[in-house]
């Protein structure tokens, strides 16, 4: 009777290396895609091109592996160290480049993706050829691919849920660079009898681990250096969530909030934006009691809603719990919204607004839609006719919805696309605009089943709006007047492309 032998220690060690190698490679790919979407916008386009370039480079690397014939363990060790350094430092390098030489960001991004992809493409073929000395071909392929896919699965789950929220992109890259370097150290020990220049390899391993370890220890300083340069004002709060990078700065304009590098408000003039967003709809309604706010996790729109004593309940739906936590607990930020998120009238729900509208059965007198601009398809879905059809169902018969809608001056086509999309689901629209110095001329749209009429009274204490000043907001000069626009549908999201084209002319 034959006894089946278990896997040899060398085989186990190399298969474990495959798991780590696959995990590290996917982290570098995801980090590059995330950074590209943060900086360049349009996450679908950026992830698609980064993944495509990365896979192409892996194919090139796999093809190049045929030219490595001798000293395979030594080649594998060197490649691991190169992947550790280039991949581990990739997020930090791109962050610093964006801050100091933004015009070079795109070239460096794809250059690094191609280099890392080629190196990762070399790794697996070399491991397979080393294992081939001890494992049958059929078992070899199945085992290597199994561990490769398992490593990719583990990282694909951990990256958005654990790594980025807890460590941030820079430290995540450095951590996995260290893991690649540890694989190299492992290979150094496993193949110590085959390596001709053991001391040189050992010194290279120690240098790589030391460099990455020092960078990891100083990662907060690297992040601060890049963000201080980019934001210019002093950063008083910065953290990453599963969805975005949240940065608050303090400068001459007071506190300013940035999400993924995009300005959301400045303390010096946010009252103009939020008064214009809330009061033309709320005051015109007459007696709103039940209100919903979609987006607006900073609580500033809620602050304006609480000026109406007749309001009984406000439901705030914001995807990111970090946003609502920060703006309800941080003393300086909570002071901006007058502690609105702690009001007993306010119920905070952290979920996707699209899904929430699909599930909720309540109807509301006023719905305030305060999403970021449609810079990518994940946000763009919240500007589609599918979303507005759900919005219409949740609006009371006499209710008003108001939607912030980018600049009708800079992004004229985009603004009127949203108007056309709202009208396509049977809602009447009343577009208007207001000047907010931090943003320029900014647009809003009131949508309802009944015609909008200018309010006869406004709450006391407003700094921008007056009863007499509201009607002129609905008058559009010739350079912002309506232009033909197609409906933004979930299947094509033409608005995202239009928005990127129009804003790209201003911010090349």
Which residues participate in catalysis according to the annotation? 370
Alpha-carbon dihedral angle through residues 286, 291, 296, 302, given to the nearest 10 degrees:
70
Compute the distance between CA of residue 139 and CA of residue 147 in angstroms, rounded to an integer.
12
Nearby residues of 362 by Cβ (< 8 Å), 6 or more positions away: 290, 315, 394
The single residue listed with the structure tokens 């199945």 is: 142
Compute the distance between CA of residue 97 and CA of residue 85 in angstroms, rounded to an integer.
17
Helices and strands, counts by H and E, the chain: 18, 11
Answer for the pair 209, 203: CB distance below 8 angstroms, yes or no: no
Nearby residues of 256 by Cβ (< 8 Å), 6 or more positions away: 233, 248, 249, 250, 263, 265, 266, 267, 438
Compute the distance between CA of residue 438 and CA of residue 415 in angstroms, rounded to an integer.
18
Compute the distance between CA of residue 304 and CA of residue 220 in angstroms, rounded to an integer.
37
What one-character-per-residue DSSP string does 391-454 give? HHHTEEEEEEEEEE---TTTSHHHHHHHHHHHHHTT-EEEEEEEEETTTEEEEEEEEESS----
End-to-end CA distance of the chain: 74
Looking at residue 102, what DSSP letter applies?
Answer: G
Nearby residues of 39 by Cβ (< 8 Å), 6 or more positions away: 98, 102, 105, 261
**Count of C-beta atoms within a 10 Å radius of residue 175:** 17
What one-character-per-residue DSSP string does 159-186 give? IIIIIHHHHHHHHHHHHHHHHHHHHHHH
Cα distances from 144 to residues 4, 55, 128, 130, in angstroms, run 20, 18, 7, 12
């Amino acid at each position: 009777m034959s006894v089946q032998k278990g896997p040899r220690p060398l085989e186990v060690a190399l298969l474990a290396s495959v798991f780590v190698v696959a995990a590290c490679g996917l982290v570098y790919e995801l980090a590059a895609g995330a950074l590209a979407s943060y900086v360049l916008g349009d996450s679908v386009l950026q992830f698609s091109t980064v993944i495509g370039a990365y896979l192409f480079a892996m194919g090139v690397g796999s093809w190049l592996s045929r030219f490595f014939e001798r000293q395979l363990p030594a080649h594998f060790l060197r490649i691991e160290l190169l992947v550790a350094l280039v991949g581990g430092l990739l997020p930090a390098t791109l962050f610093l480049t964006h801050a100091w030489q933004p015009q070079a960001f795109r070239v460096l991004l794809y250059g690094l993706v191609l280099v890392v992809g080629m190196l990762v493409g070399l790794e697996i073929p070399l491991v397979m050829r080393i294992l081939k000395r001890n494992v049958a071909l059929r078992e070899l392929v199945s085992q290597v691919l199994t561990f490769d896919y398992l490593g990719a699965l583990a990282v694909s789950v951990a990256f958005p849920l654990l790594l980025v929220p807890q460590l941030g992109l820079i430290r995540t890259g450095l951590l996995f660079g260290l893991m690649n370097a540890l694989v190299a150290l492992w290979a150094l020990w496993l193949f110590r009898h085959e390596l001709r220049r053991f001391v040189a390899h050992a010194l290279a391993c120690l240098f790589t681990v030391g460099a990455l370890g020092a960078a990891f220890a100083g990662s907060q300083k690297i992040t601060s250096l890049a963000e201080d340069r980019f934001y210019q004002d002093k950063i008083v709060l910065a953290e990453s969530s599963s969805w975005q990078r949240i940065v608050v700065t303090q400068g001459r304009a007071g506190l300013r909030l940035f999400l993924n590098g995009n300005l959301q408000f400045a303390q010096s003039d946010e009252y103009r934006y939020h008064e214009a967003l809330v009061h033309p709809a709320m005051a015109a309604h007459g007696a709103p009691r039940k209100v919903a706010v979609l987006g607006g996790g900073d609580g500033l729109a809620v602050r304006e809603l609480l000026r109406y004593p007749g309001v009984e309940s406000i439901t705030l739906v914001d995807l990111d719990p970090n946003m609502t936590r920060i703006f309800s607990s941080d003393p300086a930020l909570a002071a901006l919204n007058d502690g609105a998120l702690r009001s007993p009238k306010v119920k905070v729900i952290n979920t996707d607004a699209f899904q929430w509208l699909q599930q909720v059965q309540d109807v509301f007198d006023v719905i305030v839609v305060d999403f970021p601009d449609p810079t990518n398809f994940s946000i763009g879905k919240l500007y589609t006719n599918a979303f507005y059809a759900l919005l219409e169902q949740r609006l009371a018969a006499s209710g008003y919805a108001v939607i912030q809608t980018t600049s009708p001056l800079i992004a004229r086509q985009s603004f009127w696309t949203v108007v056309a999309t709202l009208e396509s689901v049977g809602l009447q629209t009343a577009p208007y605009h207001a000047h907010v110095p931090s943003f320029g001329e900014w647009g809003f749209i009131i949508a309802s089943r009944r015609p909008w009429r200018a309010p006869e009274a406004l709450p006391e204490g407003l700094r921008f709006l007056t009863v007499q000043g509201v009607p002129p907001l609905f008058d559009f000069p010739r350079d912002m007047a309506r232009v033909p626009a197609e409906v933004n549908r979930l299947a094509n999201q033409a608005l995202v492309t239009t928005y990127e084209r129009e804003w790209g002319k201003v911010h090349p």
